[in-house]
Amino acid sequence: MRGSTRSNGAARPAPEPDQGPDLFASLAEPAASPAQPAAAAAHQPTHPSPSAAAELSPAFPARAAWGTASNLRAWQAAALARYGELQPRDFLAVATPGAGKTTFALRVATELLKARVVDQVTIVAPTEHLKTQWADAASRVGIAIDPNFRNAQGAHGSHYDGVALTYAQVAANAELHRRRTRGSRTLVILDEVHHAGDALSWGDAVREAFESATRRLALTGTPFRSDTAPIPFITYEEDRDGIRRSRADYTYGYGDALRDGVVRPVMFLAYSGEMTWRTRAGDEVSARLGEPLTKDLMAQAWRTALAPEGEWIPAVLRAADRRLSEVRRTVPDAGGLVIATDQASARAYAAQLRAVTREEPVVVLSDDDGAGERIEAFSAGRQRWMVAVRMVSEGVDVPRLAVGVYATATATPLFFAQAVGRFVRARRRGETASVFLPSVAVLLGLASELEVERDHALDRPASAAENGETGLDDAALERANRAESASSDLDGPGFQALAAQATFDHVLFDGDQFGTGGDIGSDVESDFLAIPGFMETHEVSSTLRARQAAHMRAGHGAAGPGEVVDHREIARLRKELNQLVSAWARRSGTPHAVVHTRLRQHSGGGEVPVANAEQLRTRIDKVRAWFVGQR
């Protein structure tokens, strides 16, 4: 992060938590800001308490991770020291999801209110649910925030110290919030500030509404966007290539948090498989997910995999539920989350989970009435699964989420980081997270670069498409969330998903790849699904290596003796076999996985991805024999 203070020692030594109030001793003389009316001093904050803020859980509303300080985490204390040193009008804090941005921001707010630098607080968040979450946290430190404020009110009640708004609410009446801000010395907390660039009108409205604020504190766990829309009140500096990039005042990345034991390590389980679909031109196309494909073929194969009527999604959901059962052996209240592309798919996935678990999953389709209550109930309960489109993509705290299924065609770095962030919130040291995803190169690349820090760039030498980024952008995803646009591209005129078969591909953990591939239900897949859910990071790595070594010794992934491998012939045979299996599965009504298991029993050898040419030919001959009535 250009120009930012980092948590790895670049900052001066952090003070002890009980020294926090002294950091703001000089804040009675705030940085220059527009003159405020004398009447602004009339309102006294309810009971702002820096000591209460210090006692707030470092990861409110979750418990602090094992080994963290009883008051502030080290990065929070260092960031607070940095804020006290700069006494800035604008401050951008970048901290990975689960690190405790809320606690840090409320500590700043209590100090500024106590020092009479500001008289009211305005919190801006992406969703209605987050408004309530902020108000609940603020009440814990003696700050009364109204999360139910509506623009039609004009002013909040005198018994409140401020309000919580959404970015859409600000955009709906920027002039009203400009008057409110000018009428009293105001601290504005911009939560997930990258949303202020979601639309030109939103950015303009945020700037207009809060230009006169005494202080602005911007927070984000993902300091970048998938476009070049400028984010208000963020400083941009040119790098060596002349590209203007965002500059944070303090950064605490995922790598830092992982080393501190503040967040969970994530194990990604990738699933591939043979996909068949009919194009809008009427052509029937087959391709294997996970193999090199053109951009268009990859996108179509990916969407075919996510089709609820195929076999890929049910197989992956069953595998994810098996993984959740394993995690629950040591984390009894662990929960799972399926992130869907659209509302129709979310409902279908929920029905499939219901059949697997015999339990009704919690379904959150959008930020509508009751969605926040359903999330809160799930967070406090013990249900196994929740299915959502976007409602829990960022900011919402459900600390017990430990297993996820990334069942969406969105591949922007921003959305991927937000989605994975739902699973990394550690409650105690040793918890791990597992995320199931399609074996798509762009997703695997994002997974392997989870620790890479990104800045928001205003200038780009090439568009996302030119750089190979795929998937829906944020605006397209938002359109998909609306009821009138609930169907996906799979339902577009002429396009039809015909068959989607799943196979286990590999595990990605800590930048390393493990596994030799395997059919659904194979010993290889089962061994990786049975990795204990409560282990230190180094223990997970050593266990993965040991199981991969055992599979190799058992002959998985090995070519036949003396065989010269022709990769083109192998690829051709795999494609032919998968097409025949798909055709036989449709004709006989037998699941793909069962057909493959029978063929493997007949020919010997491993699963399709690791079978040799002779084994593949034997299986092809066997399927052809079935078609002519020979058993």
Concatenate the DSSP letters of all residues of 382-406 into one string. Answer: --SEEEESSTTSSS---TTEEEEEE
Residues of the chain with CATH 3.40.50.300: 50-61+70-252, 263-458+494-554
The model carries a pTM of 0.67
Q: What is the mean pLDDT of residues 554-579?
A: 67
Distance CA 329, CA 109 (A): 41
Q: What is the pLDDT of residue 374?
A: 86
Distance in angstroms (rounded) separating the CA atoms of residues 560 and 170: 66
Q: Is the peptide bond before 461 cis (omega within 30 degrees of 0)?
A: no
pLDDT at 64 over 50: no
Taking the alpha carbons at both ends of the chain, their separation in whole angstroms is 64
- Asked if the model's pLDDT at residue 172 lies above 80, the reply is yes
Q: For residues 26 and 87, is the Cβ–Cβ distance under 8 A? A: yes
Once rounded to an integer, what is the mean pLDDT over residues 428-453? Answer: 84
In CATH, which of 3.40.50.300, 3.30.1300.30, 3.90.870.10, 3.40.1670.10 is domain 50-61+70-252? Answer: 3.40.50.300
| C-beta separation of 9 from 78 below 8 A | no
Residue 614's nearest CA partner among 559, 554, 567, 552 is 559
Q: Please, are residues 402 and 324 in contact by the beta-carbon 8 Å criterion?
A: yes
Residue 333 CB partners (closer than 8 Å, separation 6+): 382, 400
What's the pLDDT score for residue 51?
Answer: 54
Overall residue count recorded for the chain in this entry: 631
- Reference 584, options 619, 631, 630, 624; nearest CA is 624
Calculate mean pLDDT across residues 137-148: 94
Phi-psi region at 471: left, alpha or beta (left = phi > 0; alpha = psi -120 to 50)? left
Tell me: pLDDT of 460 over 50. no
State the pairing for strand pair 186-190/284-289. Answer: unpaired
Question: pLDDT class for 257, splitting at 50, 70, 90?
Answer: confident
DSSP string computed for 573-611: HHHHHHHHHHHHHHHH---HHHHHHHHHHHH-SS-GGG-
Question: What is the longest distance spanned by two Cα atoms in the chain?
Answer: 94
- CA pair distance 504, 84, nearest whole angstrom: 51
- The DSSP line for 298-345 is HHHHHHHHT-TTSSHHHHHHHHHHHHHHHHTTTSTT-EEEEEESSHHH
DSSP reduced 3-state for 25: coil
Q: Which of 281, 327, 130, 122 is nearest to 215 (CA)?
A: 122
pLDDT tier at 57 (50, 70, 90 boundaries)? low
CA distances to 78, 130, 256, 477 from 98, rounded to whole Å, are 17, 14, 12, 24
Taking 60 as the threshold, does the pLDDT of residue 555 lie above it?
Answer: yes
Q: Which fold has domain 263-458+494-554?
A: Rossmann fold (3.40.50)
List the single range of 10-19, 243-252, 597-606 with lowest mean pLDDT.
10-19
The tokens describing 45, both together, are: 């904050």
Distance CA 225, CA 215 (A): 24
Burial class (CB in 10 A: 0-12, 13-18, 19+), 63: middle
Q: Is 538 exposed, middle or buried (0-12, 13-18, 19+ CB in 10 A)?
A: exposed
Annotate 181-192 with b (16+ C-beta within 10 A) or e (fewer).
bbbbbbbbbbbb
Q: What percent of the chain has pLDDT over 90?
A: 35
Confidence bin at 405 (pLDDT 50/70/90): very high
Is the alpha carbon torsion for 460, 463, 468, 474 positive or negative?
A: positive
pLDDT of residue 468: 38
Question: pLDDT band at residue 32, thresholds of 50, 70 and 90?
Answer: very low
Neighbours of 308 (CB within 10 A): 20
Beta pairing class for 512-514 and 250-252: unpaired
Higher pLDDT, 62 or 155: 155
- Across 451-463, b (16+ Cβ under 10 Å) vs e yields eebbbbbbeeeee
Return all residues near 405 (Cβ < 8 A) that are at least 6 apart: 316, 317, 320, 336, 337, 338, 339, 435, 436, 437
Residue 506, number of CB atoms within 10 A of its CB:
24
Amino acid at position 511, single letter: G
Instruction: List the beta strands (DSSP E) in 347-458.
Output: 362-364, 385-388, 401-407, 433-438
- How wide is the angle at C-alpha 213 spanned by C-alphas 212 and 216, nearest 5°? 135
3-state helix/strand/coil string of 58-101: CCCCCCCCCCCCCCCCHHHHHHHHHHHHHCCCEEEEEECCCCCH
Query: Could you tell me if 387 and 322 are in contact, meaning their C-beta atoms sit under 8 angstroms apart?
Result: no
pLDDT of residue 536: 84
What tokens appear for 394 in the block? 């960022």
C-alpha–C-alpha distance, residues 568 and 585, integer Å: 26
pLDDT, position 557: 53
Strands 235-238 and 244-247 come out as: antiparallel
| pLDDT in the model for residue 10 | 39
* Count of CB atoms situated within 10 Å of the CB of 509: 24
Average predicted confidence (pLDDT) for the chain = 78
More confident residue, 63 or 158: 158
Report which of 520, 527, 487, 489 is spatially closest to residue 502, judged by C-alpha positions: 520
